[in-house]
């Protein structure tokens, strides 16, 4: 697509730089960007970046869980997960809307979860946070769809990563997936890349599951 990519990191700048190195090694253009997205300073910095050059594609990929049964969940457990996953969308995306409007082109893609579709024991806070994305992108579509901006949700199921393969019940999760395998990061990236392209200009306000048939 020829886009310059900002790879965001909160604390792990080294991991973001590894991603940048992979992009540049394959002929792309990228740089690492470290900021705490939960702070007002982050919004100011994003506005500065957008002023220097429109950021026209946003992939909001934030995740964090505190799993407990609902009856045992403290208010801080609830608020922390809601703020991390959902509230920070406001801080990350709102400053970039006006530049998209001025260029009459933009793509907003939020990464959700199978939990948002099916629910899961011990994850009421996480399900509520990720589940908030669908009505959010539908509303953004109503507000800005006529200006060339699309907003969609991608909801992955079991994806083969270092984090998931280390789970004790990994093989059980594979067996519960109709495809009888985990998805790959490349498969998720291909879907996100399509939604970020001109070819997906008539797709907006949707949640697309990529979960091997689980939903």
Contacts 24+ apart (CB under 8 A), 28-33: 29/3, 29/4, 29/5, 30/4, 30/5, 30/6, 31/4, 31/5, 31/6, 31/7, 32/6, 32/7, 33/6, 33/7, 33/8, 33/9
Task: Specify whether 126 is catalytic.
Answer: yes
Which one from 90, 126, 144, 170 is the annotated catalytic residue? 126
Which tokens belong to 144?
Answer: 């800005």
CA dist., res. 81 & res. 126, Å (int): 6
H or E segment at 83?
none
Would you please indicate which residues are annotated as catalytic (active-site) residues?
A: 126
């Amino acid at each position: 697509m020829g886009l310059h990519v900002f790879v965001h990191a909160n604390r792990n700048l080294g991991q973001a730089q590894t991603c940048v190195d992979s992009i540049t090694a394959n002929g792309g253009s990228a740089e690492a960007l470290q900021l705490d997205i939960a702070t007002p300073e982050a919004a100011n910095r994003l506005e500065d970046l957008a002023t220097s050059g429109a950021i026209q594609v946003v992939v909001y990929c934030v995740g964090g869980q505190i799993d407990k049964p609902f009856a045992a969940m403290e208010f801080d457990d609830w608020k922390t997960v809601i703020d991390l996953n959902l509230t920070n969308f406001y801080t990350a995306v709102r400053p970039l809307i006006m530049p998209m409007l001025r260029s009459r082109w933009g793509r907003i893609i939020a990464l959700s979860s199978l939990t948002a579709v099916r629910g899961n024991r011990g994850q009421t806070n996480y399900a509520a946070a990720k589940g908030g994305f669908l009505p959010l992108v539908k509303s953004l579509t109503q507000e800005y769809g006529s200006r060339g901006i699309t907003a969609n949700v991608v909801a992955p199921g079991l994806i083969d990563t270092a984090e998931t393969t280390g789970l004790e019940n990994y093989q059980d999760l594979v067996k519960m997936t109709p495809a009888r395998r985990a998805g790959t990061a490349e498969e998720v990236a291909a879907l996100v890349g399509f939604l970020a392209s001109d070819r997906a200009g008539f797709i907006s306000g949707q949640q697309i599951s990529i979960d091997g048939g689980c939903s």
